[in-house]
């Protein structure tokens, strides 16, 4: 009996019927690879989460690769993205990176370089050491990244991260709004600012990430 597959998951969005299966097969040495050949299907798969890294072709049917990545970034999906493409001019690279890709590799390429770039992309996320538990999820306060077991990483604003960190450091404590205001926000802000940022966190992550204790204030949830 074989044990569970512990390889990290990788989404490959590549429409070339010859290249796609070859890349998927080679990357399968180190990754659990899901191959899709259409931009819109790739977007839906990436939204579903659970991937350590995405490899996205630039020219795709259904939805162009740069728009796929830009859409994910607008939706606060922060999974690392390597754009893999035959378009290799400086303008093409700039467009890909400005759209939200983390790296850009031009075809034809050597697989050793592809593996090295993927290791570099995932290493920067895996190297995080200090975190706060939020139920089964984790908040990395320094990078302001929130990671859940069931979805991709979410990047928080400075104040969102600070508020959630304050709650997560004392998971059994209920904070009143005045206390949170003094701990997290600049002098001069109003109590309603706390409510506003709680709402931001619930929209970005989950409505239960911060719980309301009626008559008392807020406490961290248990996702």
- Mark whether 145 and 122 lie in a shared domain: no
Contact 83, 101 (CB under 8 A): yes
- Mark whether 147 and 121 lie in a shared domain: no
- Where b means 16+ CB within 10 Å and e means fewer, 68-97 reads bbbbbeeeebbbbbbbbbebeeeebbebbb
Q: Provide the domain count of the chain.
A: 2
We report the CATH number of the domain holding residue 161 as 1.10.10.10
pLDDT band per the 50, 70, 90 thresholds, residue 96: low
Query: Final residue of a domain: which of 110, 126, 142?
Result: 126
pLDDT, the chain, mean: 86
**Residue-range definition of the domain harbouring residue 53:** 9-126
pLDDT (tens digit per residue) in 107-165: 888 999 899 888 878 775 555 457 889 988 888 887 777 877 665 567 788 899 999 99
- Mark whether 97 and 178 lie in a shared domain: no
- Mark whether 157 and 192 lie in a shared domain: yes
pLDDT (tens digit per residue) in 174-194: 999 999 999 999 888 899 999
- Mark whether 168 and 211 lie in a shared domain: yes
- Mark whether 99 and 150 lie in a shared domain: no
pTM for this one?
Answer: 0.58
CB atoms within 10 A of CB 106: 15
Q: Is residue 36 part of a domain?
A: yes
- Mark whether 151 and 43 lie in a shared domain: no
- Mark whether 106 and 151 lie in a shared domain: no
- Mark whether 122 and 56 lie in a shared domain: yes
């Amino acid at each position: 009996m074989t044990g569970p597959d512990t390889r990290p998951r990788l989404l490959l969005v590549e429409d070339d019927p010859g290249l796609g299966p070859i890349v998927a097969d080679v990357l399968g040495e180190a990754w659990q690879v899901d191959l899709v050949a259409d931009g819109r299907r790739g977007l839906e798969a990436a939204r579903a989460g659970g991937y350590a890294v995405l490899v996205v072709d630039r020219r795709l049917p259904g939805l162009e690769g740069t728009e796929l990545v830009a859409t994910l970034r607008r939706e606060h999906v922060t999974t690392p993205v390597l754009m893999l493409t035959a378009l290799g001019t400086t303008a093409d690279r700039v467009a890909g990176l400005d759209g939200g890709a983390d790296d850009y590799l031009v075809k034809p390429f050597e697989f050793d370089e592809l593996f090295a770039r993927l290791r570099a992309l995932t290493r920067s996320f895996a190297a995080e050491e200090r975190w706060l538990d939020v139920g089964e999820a984790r908040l990395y306060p320094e990078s302001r990244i929130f990671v859940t077991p069931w979805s991709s990483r979410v990047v928080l604003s400075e104040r969102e991260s600070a508020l959630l960190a304050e709650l997560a450091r004392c998971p059994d404590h209920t904070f009143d709004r005045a206390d949170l205001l003094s701990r997290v926000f600049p002098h001069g802000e109003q109590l309603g600012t706390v409510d506003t940022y709680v709402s931001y966190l619930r929209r970005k992550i989950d409505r239960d990430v911060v719980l309301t204790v009626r008559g008392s204030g807020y406490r961290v949830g248990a996702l």
